[in-house]
Amino acid sequence: MQGLNGLIPCLQVRNITKSYSGFFANYQVNLAIQPGEIHALLGENGAGKSTLMKIIYGVVCPESGEIFWQGKQVDITNPAKARSLGIGMVFQHFCLFETLTVTENIALALPAGEKWNLAQVNRKIRVLSQEYGLDINPDSPVYTLSVGEKQRVEIIRCLCSATKLLILDEPTAVLTPQEIEKLFLTLQQIAAGGCSILFSSHKLQEVRSLCTYATILRNGEVIAECNPQVETIDSLARMMIGEDEGHGGQRGQGGHGGQENITLFTLPPLPPTSPSPHLPTSPPPHLPHLLTSP
């Protein structure tokens, strides 16, 4: 099965459909990602981006449609199956055990024949950390790490599993500008080695600077494909929200439970307020059991 350029896509999804309570999160979605491509997945809040990424990673099962991995049809029924194929995902809220070390967390996602040799896993982390500029101490407990360091652990965990497709859900939302710059250098290096990257973000300028292709969802359907580097922020925004909808356009019915806020317009500044002592200072815990799915 070849794409328009004659290459076999690393991943291809055909007519993927998923609904929740009568509303389509994804409706007959088609997507193809080439080897070594950094592919953006764009759409408004609720467009269905998170649902599609979770389907590819085996967290969510589609109601219909087909998934092809390196030209062969596959059933990805859980994250363990996805990882065995070479698909890794970094969620916006990390899947890490806070009381375990970096090495122990990464070992949990490895095959049974590798996970129990912690000394070998530790050495592998150090090699990958140096190779990709992902500075991390394998012996550190996760609860001592910054948010940016925790993201590095997630990426190294995927690299330890020989990932051929790396899925990133809003990876820059929790990073400083300096950390974003370092992340992009790392992702470009990973892609140069032949690993494909599916990159979801609401920051359109970042997408334009990093990604060479984009699939745009609206109301759960693919409405456009483009090279974001030859588009403007305004043209990308119009494709996402619709030519005639303008500010405050209709919200899609997809993205069940996703984190997909998109900043498209500049609003007047709000008056200064004092920070509330009741606001959370860290994201809620995610689902560590995804690491140990059967």
Confidence of residue 5 (pLDDT cuts 50, 70, 90): low
Please compute the mean of the pLDDT values over residues 67-77 and round it to a whole number: 95
Confidence of residue 294 (pLDDT cuts 50, 70, 90): very low
pLDDT digits (tens, 9 = 90+) for 123-163: 999 999 999 989 999 999 999 999 999 999 999 999 988 89
Residue 264 has pLDDT above 50, yes or no: no
pLDDT digits (tens, 9 = 90+) for 203-262: 899 999 999 999 999 999 999 999 999 999 999 999 998 865 443 333 333 443 333 343
Cα three-residue angle 55-58-62, rounded to 5 degrees:
40
Structure tokens at 237: 């925004």
Confidence of residue 268 (pLDDT cuts 50, 70, 90): very low
Instruction: List % helix, strand, coil for the chain (3-state, nearest 5).
Output: 35, 20, 45
CB count within 10 Å of CB 79 equals: 24
Asked if residues 183 and 209 have their Cβ atoms less than 8 Å apart, the reply is: no
CA Rg value for the chain: 19
Asked if residues 34 and 196 have their Cβ atoms less than 8 Å apart, the reply is: yes
Residue 164 has pLDDT above 80, yes or no: yes
Q: What is the pLDDT of residue 59?
A: 95
Please compute the mean of the pLDDT values over residues 175-186 and round it to a whole number: 92
Asked if residues 165 and 87 have their Cβ atoms less than 8 Å apart, the reply is: yes
Q: How far apart are CA 87 and CA 85, in angstroms?
A: 6
Q: What is the pLDDT of residue 116?
A: 80
Check residue 23 and report its DSSP letter.
E
Q: How far apart are CA 261 and CA 114, in angstroms?
A: 39
Structure tokens at 216: 């745009």
Structure tokens at 244: 């005639």
pLDDT digits (tens, 9 = 90+) for 102-127: 999 999 888 777 778 899 999 999 99
Asked if residues 292 and 107 have their Cβ atoms less than 8 Å apart, the reply is: no
pLDDT digits (tens, 9 = 90+) for 41-71: 999 888 899 999 999 999 999 999 999 999 9
Structure tokens at 142: 């996760």
Angular region, 136: left φ>0, alpha ψ -120 to 50, beta rest: beta
Q: How far apart are CA 180 and CA 267, in angstroms?
A: 24
| pTM of this prediction exceeds 0.75 | yes
Residue 183 has pLDDT above 50, yes or no: yes
Confidence of residue 201 (pLDDT cuts 50, 70, 90): confident
Q: What is the pLDDT of residue 113?
A: 74
Q: What is the pLDDT of residue 92?
A: 80
Find tokens 């710059």 and name the residue: 181
Of 172-176, 229-233, 270-274, the one with minimum mean pLDDT is: 270-274
CB count within 10 Å of CB 181 equals: 11
Higher pLDDT, 273 or 102: 102
